[in-house]
A = this chain, B = another copy of it.
């Protein structure tokens, strides 16, 4: 079985793009590098708009991209449950290959372990990634008056996966937003140098959790304007039904940015020039009242806090 699997991986991910049980020797060039890792345990393995393979590539690409790094190299470590359908594995590997090609990264090293029936759930994928640091100025000082931006509609990934898992039929047409954010980050860096103070992909815990991390123990707040951010009707519907706030739902192709208020329009314009930023917009601002808190200004004019949630609302979402 191992030989067949290794043959499949080499064939799909490319004879030179994967070295098994070995190290890749790389020349990322001078300067600092970024290094990250993520394991993917999403269930189901296939969902509208993506699968665990696409997710594993884009998730790690995004962790690098939001740091201001240019993602270059990925590792691919598979844990396979005995009896996994080879057709499914093939689809997942092909999906990884396409995602890596689209993001412009190379899968340069890998590992495969097979565990017995019942010792895993189909397949788990770990990707670690290396990027070169392009833009260290990304770690700017956040202050009242700054704007909060997003690159499109929120909650698509979490709701698409949950709908697939629970066979909800009324979300038909809703796709996960799973996408690489490096092209968008690079466009913004080249069109608006020095403008971005902070960027973070809004995965587990959603946009509200990213904002809570930003304001935690700080002297400023983040205020979101409910009318301003795009939420698809299907996402609103499912969240309303389950009493979940879309701002806490996982995304896999969305990032939250903070920048000087005066440069927000310029960044929105640059993001909109990219495939992943077509619906970019300003969704809120950094303020001086309610220090350390995230505040939602509702569509009917009220205000409520968006605290950091202790628990994950949706397990196995990535």
Contact = CB atoms under 8 A, between A and B. Distances in A.
A81 to B, nearest CB: 9
A162 to B, nearest CB: 15
Contacts of A76: 37
B36 A23 contact: yes
A26 B37 contact: no
B24 A34 contact: yes
Interface stretch (A103-111, A185-193, A228-236, A253-261): A103-111
Interface in A161-195: none
A75 interface: yes
Contacts of A126: 37, 39, 77, 126, 128
A312 to B, nearest CB: 7
Contact of A111 (B37, B109, B310): B37
Interface string A49-73: 0000000000000011001010001
Interface string A293-318: 00000000000000000111001100
A116 interface: yes
Contacts of A115: 41, 121, 315-316
B21 A63 contact: yes
Nearest to A115: B41
A67 B37 contact: no
A239 interface: no
A125 to B, nearest CB: 10
Interface in A77-116: 77-79, 108-111, 113-116
**Is chain A's binding surface mostly helix, strand, loop or mixed?**
strand
Number of copies: 2
Task: From A21, A116, A203, name the one whose CB has the most chain B CB atoms within 10 angstroms.
Answer: A21
B109 A79 contact: no
A147 to B, nearest CB: 23
Contacts of A279: none
A124 interface: yes
Contacts of A35: 23-24, 26, 73, 75, 108-109, 128, 130
Contacts of A77: 37-39, 126, 128
Contacts of A25: 32-34, 67, 69, 133, 136
B36 A26 contact: no
Contact of A64 (B23, B64, B128): B23
Interface of A: 2-3, 21-28, 30-41, 63-64, 67, 69, 73, 75-79, 108-111, 113-116, 118-121, 124, 126, 128-131, 133, 136, 203-204, 310-312, 315-316
